[in-house]
Amino acid sequence: MQVSNSIIQFKTIEYNKKDNEIKILDQKQLPEKEIYVTLKNIEDVYQAIKNMNVRGAPLIGVTAAYGVVMSAAGGNPEAVLKTADYLKSARPTAINLAWAVERMMKKSKDAKNLYGRLLEEASHIELEDKESCLRMGEIGAELIEDGANIMVHCNAGALATSGIGTALGVLYTAKKRGKKFSVYSCERQRKEGKNSAYIRVKRDLFCRGHDSHHGNSQEMRLTLIPYVIIWQQPIWRK
């Protein structure tokens, strides 16, 4: 299945099979600069995940999957196993990181063409991420009323995935369908999380974007915000 990200004018990640390299959008440079960097070896991939040059659970998983692919270029199963353990240690609490790496390792068992099999699996992981973003957008957009005020929390746009994003994917889809709305971004952790969501609201959605400093119930009551879209992992784990 061919999945289009035509709504988005940038790519967060791209694997170059010819050179066995990964190109990523360096999110630590946002919003001041939009810079792409090339990850040429496993150490580059490890550092990009650890230092949050790539952010968002889905995107971290996709990046790690292609990192495993890079290690398989020589056809050495031991190198792949070593890489898998190393990449998982980059951010031990990142669920998608361990999930993606372990999924790749299952596919590596008894593979006659190790590199080919792992490249195929990494491509599937990326494709599934894009498809789930599109599906989430379609379902969520149905719920958005025209003229609504919407609050988003966490880095949940296209920057967090290889597709159109999770929470902001809903808004991209609603915008594409002609709906108008105002968006409040209330991320308060790392500046990249807040700014990445806010800048995408202003730049990609071309709607009224509000840089909220509080995101509390008082602000929601005063501005009549009936919709809140939030990254759900911290919720369901509790």
pLDDT band at 216 (very low <50, low <70, confident <90, very high): low
Listed in sequence order, the residues at least 6 apart from 208 whose beta carbon sits closer than 8 Å to its beta carbon are 181, 182, 183
pLDDT in tens, 172-193: 899 899 998 888 776 554 444 4
Q: Which residue has the higher pLDDT, 219 or 102?
A: 102
pLDDT band at 194 (very low <50, low <70, confident <90, very high): very low
Report the C-alpha gap between 238 and 229 in whole angstroms.
18
Choose from 16-20, 159-163, 199-203 the range with maximum mean pLDDT: 16-20
Rounded mean pLDDT, 199-219: 50
Count of residues making up the chain: 238
- Let me know if 237 is exposed, middle or buried by CB neighbors in 10 A (0-12, 13-18, 19+): exposed
Q: What average pLDDT score do residues 34-58 get?
A: 95
Give the pTM: 0.83
pLDDT exceeds 70 at position 19: yes
Per DSSP, which regions of the chain are E strands?
Answer: 13-16, 21-25, 36-39, 148-153, 181-185, 208-211, 227-230
Q: Write down all domains in the chain, each with its CATH number in brackets.
A: 13-134 (1.20.120.420), 136-236 (3.40.50.10470)
Q: What is the pLDDT of residue 155?
A: 62
- The DSSP H or E segment spanning 40 is none
More confident residue, 195 or 25: 25
State the pLDDT at residue 220. Answer: 54
Q: Which residue has the higher pLDDT, 3 or 66?
A: 66
For 129-179, what is each residue's pLDDT tens digit? 999 999 999 999 999 999 888 887 766 678 889 998 887 888 889 989 999
Percent of the chain whose predicted confidence (pLDDT) is above 70: 74
Q: Give one word for 227, left, alpha or beta, with left for phi > 0 and alpha for psi -120 to 50.
A: beta
CB-CB contact of 232 with 154 (8 Å): no
